């Protein structure tokens, strides 16, 4: 199946001259105006394509003028502007289709030794981290069914929220009783997938939509992004 996604507002600064300093200062490299690039990101399970839709010259650059290279590693796609003469990157930005800033906090766990949040895992915590997924899934499935019935009966958003709060009263304590509930690990079940994707905490927001707090890995990723833009 083919799907098209039009990503808006990928903002690129305009080159003014080919100064050669890596991470040189903004005024040397750029005019200060914004060149906007819209593109299509399309594909299926086997392949993906990125093609340019249009380029447009816009107003003043609204982004950082001091932080031009993005070393956050937060995202699957990196947009890079390269200086033609020096072949060095002068601007970088991680692009995440669908605006999912926390992609960092779920993983396919293909190589446990290279787990993205490894530095936050206690060496005593096994990876993947065991938890009572079957028991939880049974409960979650029953709730999911009831939720669909409510939707089908055109329940109001308030009703849906109330029901979700009731569900949380049962599932949150279940997760809190897990052996590794207080630990950062790699727990199977994330990003709406029961299998194959792993989250960093039993009650990570990427899994439970926990409204109260972020797990340590989410919190650290959010701080990293805030620092990146606030610096």
Q: Residue 69 or residue 174: which is nearer to Zn ion going by CB?
A: 174
Range 66-105, binding Zn ion (CB under 5 A): 105
Number of H helices, E strands in the chain: 5, 8
Tokens of 190: 């994330």
Question: In the complex with Zn ion, which residue's Cβ is closer, 34 or 201?
Answer: 201
Determine, following the binding rule CB under 5 A, whether residue 215 of this chain makes contact with Zn ion: yes
By CB under 5 A, name the one of 204, 208, 210, 221 that touches Zn ion. 204
* 3-class SS of residue 155: coil
Closest approach of Zn ion to the CB of residue 135, in Å: 21
Q: How far is the CB of 50 from Zn ion (least distance, A)?
A: 29
CB neighbours of 154 closer than 8 A, spacing ≥ 6?
none
Compare residues 59 and 192 and give the one whose CB is closer to Zn ion: 192
| Residue 29 vs 215, nearer CB to Zn ion | 215
Site membership for Zn ion, residue 115 (CB under 5 A): no
Structure tokens belonging to residue 31: 């005019």
Give CA angle at 21 (17, 22), nearest 5°.
115
Say how far apart CA 132 and CA 73 lie, in whole Å.
Answer: 32
Q: In which order are the strands placed within the sheet that holds 106-107?
A: 106-107, 193-199, 187-190
| Residue 218 interacts with Zn ion (CB under 5 A): yes or no | yes
190 lies in the binding site for Zn ion (CB under 5 A)? no
The site for Zn ion (CB under 5 A) is made up of 105, 204, 215, 218
């Amino acid at each position: 199946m083919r799907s098209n996604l039009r990503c808006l507002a990928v903002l690129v600064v305009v080159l003014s001259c080919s100064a050669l300093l890596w991470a040189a200062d903004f005024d040397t490299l750029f005019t200060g105006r914004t060149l906007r690039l819209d593109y299509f990101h399309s594909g299926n399970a086997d392949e993906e394509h990125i093609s340019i839709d249009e380029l447009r010259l816009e107003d003043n650059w609204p982004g950082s003028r001091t932080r031009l290279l993005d070393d956050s590693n937060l995202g699957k796609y990196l947009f890079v502007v390269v200086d033609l003469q020096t072949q060095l990157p002068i601007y970088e930005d991680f692009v995440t289709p669908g605006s999912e800033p926390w992609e960092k906090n779920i993983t396919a766990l293909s190589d446990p030794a290279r787990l993205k949040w490894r530095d936050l895992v206690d060496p005593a915590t096994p990876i993947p981290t065991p938890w009572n997924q079957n028991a939880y899934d049974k409960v979650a499935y029953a709730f999911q069914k009831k939720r669909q019935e409510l939707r089908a009966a055109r329940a109001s958003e308030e009703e849906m929220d109330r029901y979700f709060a009731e569900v949380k009263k049962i599932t949150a304590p279940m997760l809190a009783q897990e052996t590794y509930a207080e630990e950062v690990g790699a727990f199977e079940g994330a990003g709406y997938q029961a299998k194959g994707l792993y989250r960093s905490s039993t009650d990570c927001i990427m899994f439970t939509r926990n409204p109260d707090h972020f797990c340590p890995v989410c919190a650290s990723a959010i701080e990293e992004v805030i620092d990146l833009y606030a610096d």
